[in-house]
Amino acid sequence: MTAIALTVAGSDSGGGAGIQADLKTFSALGVYGASVLTALTAQNTRGVTAIHDVPPAFVRAQIDAVFSDIPVNAVKIGMLSKSAVIEAVAEGLDAWPRRPVVLDPVMVATSGDRLLDASAAGALESLLIPRADVITPNLAEAAALLGTDMATTEDEMRRQGEALLGRGARAVLMKGGHGTGDESTDLLVEPGRVTRFSARRIDTPNTHGTGCTLSAAVAAGLAKGHDLVTSVGQAKAYLTAALAASAGLHVGGGHGPVHHFHAVWPA
């Protein structure tokens, strides 16, 4: 049986984030990847210069085309810049039998460029967070969703994760990559349980696409039939290794990509 994951996200012309990062991650982890494009970006390691949104009806047509033929085992959702596109994705998820959904609430690119319209944040919260099995906000995204300051301690991360559970999320992976200290700690917050994942912090400028990569790796684990805790643990280990190997890539003059194929490319 072939494990299959679907990514619903925007395209990164620089290849380090978005659909491209997701498909690379799926492939590196032994999962077949299908895709639904929600937006095209003119983007490189230095920033985003233009965004072209895919019409909502065409987003829905892609969803229907994939699900009507391909037995998808897990879904990862990334960049959705407009409310109408979010509505189309929510309708598409409801139209087909349920499978695990990983929602990465992408709001701002690594370069600082905004990827989600401010007016669309409400639609993301009301339509997609309740439909997701796990959401994967970084510290800034969690704060933005809650309208509060960014967490600076693990206790604050836990409390914000619990607050997002109260907004309808089934589970919240609070990502600590934007924090400080020698360790990068993520907290998987579920009703009645918090699981801690920690790894040494990798000192590298090559952080483009880290959020996309981690959420795609979680979806890959779920597509293989692993439980959420196992999927998150394996995803954390994969991203840490991809960050550590990123110095072996020389791509662009800004925030370079992680090395998705560190385990298969020659040293």
Q: Which of 168, 171, 146, 142 is nearest to 157 (CA)?
A: 142
The catalytic position among 16, 92, 179, 209 is 209
Q: Which of 185, 207, 213, 240 is catalytic?
A: 207
In the chain the first and final C-alpha atoms are separated, in Å, by 32
Neighbours of 215 (CB within 10 A): 31
Q: How far apart, in whole angstroms, are the C-alpha atoms of residue 91 and residue 152?
A: 36
**Residue 210 annotated in active site:** yes
The active-site residue out of 210, 224, 240, 256 is 210
Catalytic annotation present for 175: yes
- Catalytic residue among 33, 161, 177, 211, which? 211
Residue among 76, 82, 175, 224 flagged as catalytic: 175
The answer to whether residue 179 is catalytic is no
Among 41, 177, 212, 256, the active-site one is 212
If you search the block for the tokens 């659909």, which residue do you land on? Answer: 19
76 is catalytic: no
185 is annotated as an active-site residue: no
Is 224 known to be catalytic? Answer: no
DSSP the chain: ---EEEEEEEEETTSSSHHHHHHHHHHHTT-EEEEEEEEEEEE-SS-EEEEEEPPHHHHHHHHHHHHTTS---EEEE----SHHHHHHHHHHHHHS----EEE----B-TTS-B-S-GGGHHHIIIIIGGG-SEE--BHHHHHHHHTSPPP-SHHHHHHHHHHHHHTT-S-EEEB-TTS-SSEEEEEEEETTEEEEEEEEPP--S--BTHHHHHHHHHHHHHHTT--HHHHHHHHHHHHHHHHHTGGG----SSSPBP-TTTTTS--
Instruction: Please give the positions annotated as active site.
Output: 175, 207, 209-212
